[in-house]
Structure 1
Amino acid sequence: MSAAPQDGRPSDIQVREAQVSFRDVALEPPFVISGRPLTHITAVTVRVDAQTRSGRAVAGTGAGMLSVPWSWPSAGLGLEARERVMRELVQLLAAQATGSSLRGDPFVLWRPLYDGLDEMLERTARHAGIDAIPRLAGLLALGAVDNALHDAWSRAAGLPLTSMYTAEHLREDLGCHGEAGEGLHPGDTLRRPRSQLPVQHALGVGDPLTADLAAAGVRSLEDWIRSEGVHHLKLKLTGEASADIERIRAVHRTATPLRPDLRLSLDPNEAYTLPVLGELLDTLEREDPVLFAAIDYLEQPIPRDQTPDPLELSRLSARIPVLLDEGYSRLSQLSTLRDEGWSGVVIKAVKGQSHAMITQALASAAGMRIAIQDLTAVDLALEHSLGLAAVLPVSWPAVEYNSRQYAAAANAQLAQRAPDLVTVRDGSVRVGPVSRGVHDI
């Protein structure tokens, strides 16, 4: 049985006010994913003013990213209208957190928001005159609010955030998420913080590999490798097997003379069927065994709303780990992923600290693989993502860091505040010791 709620802790908080702000971030050059150019993304910041049990005032700040094309790729609404709806959702969730009489740790404050998300999405969709809003879009809207709750909680206690995910500070274990969570707390599975994080360099479908193929002002893969030493590459695929095979080979030919220690991950962005993807891997394994051995994992190869054949996916996962990304929108999915054939999940800080902490704990306890991605996070959201990557029990060391490629200007304030986080040397960034709050790393 899950541990019963206990009396209040001195670190418990109650939200009094919340403020939300948005920032439009242009991607230059556009990030091409499955033939769709992503030209902008919205950064969101939430500040909560809270009060401890003793009446002391404390503030917390949370950041996130609202990527409409990623979280809500199609609807009866245009892109700008979907953007407005997602911004409205953040406002609604912040107001709901403010209007709550709950006092407790951030998981206690977050859970009613998470449990009521479907109802809020249905209500908002009716108001917008559309059939539905994807739950993934709702998770991104909730993420910044949740991150602010954790930040305020840590600052109220004056303790490093990751040191507080224990029975001493939390009212409940994770038993409410199933038997696997009974007696388990998120801090039980965290690792000692890493001081260096290898950078995973993204390659959009149209990104140039060599200088002679690069347009003016656009850097080639060769240039990135020579200047930063990146050696973990994430390749976006198109779903056209023959073209993707040639692209993978071209990347390998270009990169390995510069970085013999090259590692690859493949992200088809839902563009494949499992049989076709299996044939692609057959070809690479047969004709390019050295290249095939450099592939770490596959990320969300099939459409997010498709239920895979368990035997077929299990056979694929036995060759190369296959991770769920866009299809992961409910914590309850973790209990069935292994039976469905998945190897593990992708964690994104922009879905919220509670979601990330619960996911890593339950996935680790079940022996599933974990990778962390950042959804082109900038500034505070990037700082949070890197700090999270430093302590998560990830299965591969590299952390996605797309904004240095596509939105470098949006990290100007971060560069002044924490220059090591925007300086890549020998393929890695340095992170400092954990202090407190979701942004102090």
Structure 2
Amino acid sequence: GGALEPLLVGKIAIEHNVLWLTSDFNSTVSQPAYVNEILDRLVIEHPRIYGMMLYVEQPFPYDLEANRIDVHSVSARKPLFMDESAHDWRLIRLGRQLGWTGVALKTCKTQTGALLSLCWAKAHGMTLMVQDLTNPMLAQIPHCLLAAHAGTIMGVETNAMQFYPAASAPEEAVHPGLYQRRNGQVDLSTVKGPGFGYRLEEIKRQLPEKAASFSK
């Protein structure tokens, strides 16, 4: 049933003393009533698991303009975060009108786009988080810097060191605290200097041969 998976995950989380959970439907739902039913069952039958849930993420189709679903009933139960739908600040504006209350910022959607979305969302009282699509190498630095300055609901999501840690070895030699999680934290203290504080001159990365070149 719909509530079975969060129930199983919740029980495992309690056994391992996990404090918080999140629920991501990944754009698979078209009816708010489906999400509401799961949340209502949890709050009645398993209130501890319900209380552990920080937010619900992107249950509904990513194309908000084509799927203008009123989601106020869901966000009345739990904070409701846009992820795939949050392409730019204009769509965040539409999302807020429809009842979404939070935004997942991602630098992979461009740094400027993330900053514009951050500004609009904050100015209109929306909650923020910063997520990644496993940002490796230099991409980890502006990603974590964005989270450090955004004022997020809970830190930053950063997965590259989990999925392919060796990819960032040259950068890790200069910024060791950014490419390892210690006690659930990353350390930005080595990020300093001009620009994003990359310290490029110290990073010994060998770039591959050019795939193509073009003349003027």
TM-score by length of 2: 0.81
Alpha-carbon distance in 1 for matches of 2:92, 2:40? 29
| Structure 1 residues 267 and 320: CA distance shift in structure 2, 3 A | same
Give a deviation string over 1:40-88, Cα, whole Å, max 9, x none. xxxxxxxxxxxxxxxxxxxxxxxxxxxxxxxxxxxxxxxxxxxxxxxxx
Name the counterpart of 2:165: 408
User: What runs of 5+ residues in structure 1 fail to find an aligned partner?
Assistant: 1-241
* Residue 368 (1) aligns with residue 140 (2): no
Paired residue total: 195
Q: Is the 8 A contact 1:380 1:439 kept in 2?
A: no
Equivalent-residue separation in structure 1 for 2:67 and 2:192 (angstroms): 40
* Secondary structure class of the residue paired with 2:133: coil
Is 1:263 matched with 2:20? yes
Query: Aligned residue for 1:196?
Result: none
Percent identity between the aligned chains? 30
After superposition, residues 19-418 of structure 1 pair within 5 angstroms as 242=1, 245-260=3-18, 262-273=19-30, 274-305=32-63, 306-310=66-70, 313-394=71-152, 396-418=153-175
Name the one with the larger strand percent.
1
> Max radius of gyration: which structure?
1
Query: For each residue in 1:366-409, what CA deviation from the matched residue of structure 2 results, as whole angstroms up to 9, or x when unmatched?
Result: 11111111111111111221121111122x12311122222222
Please say if 1:421 is aligned against 2:178.
yes
Distance in 2, Cα, partners of 1:440 & 1:323 = 31
Amino acid at match of 1:284: L
Q: Which amino acid aligns with 2:102?
A: G
What is the CA-CA distance between 1:320 and the residue it aligns to? 0.6
Distance 1:284 1:349 in 2: 34
After superposing on structure 2, the runs of 4+ consecutive aligned residues of structure 1 that deviate more than 4 Å are none
Partners of 1:428 and 1:324 lie apart in 2 by 24
Q: Distance in 2 between matches of 1:439 and 1:246?
A: 46
Deviations 1:176-215 (A, max 9, x none): xxxxxxxxxxxxxxxxxxxxxxxxxxxxxxxxxxxxxxxx
CA shift digits 1:296-326 (9 cap, x unpaired): 111111111252432xx11110111111111
Q: Is the 8 A contact 1:360 1:393 kept in 2?
A: no
Point out where structure 2 has 5 or more consecutive residues left out of the alignment. Answer: 200-216
Asked if the contact 1:346/1:371 (under 8 Å) is kept, the reply is: yes
Relative to the length of structure 1, the TM-score reads 0.42
Q: CA RMSD in A?
A: 2.0
CA distance in 1, matches of 2:131, 2:178: 16
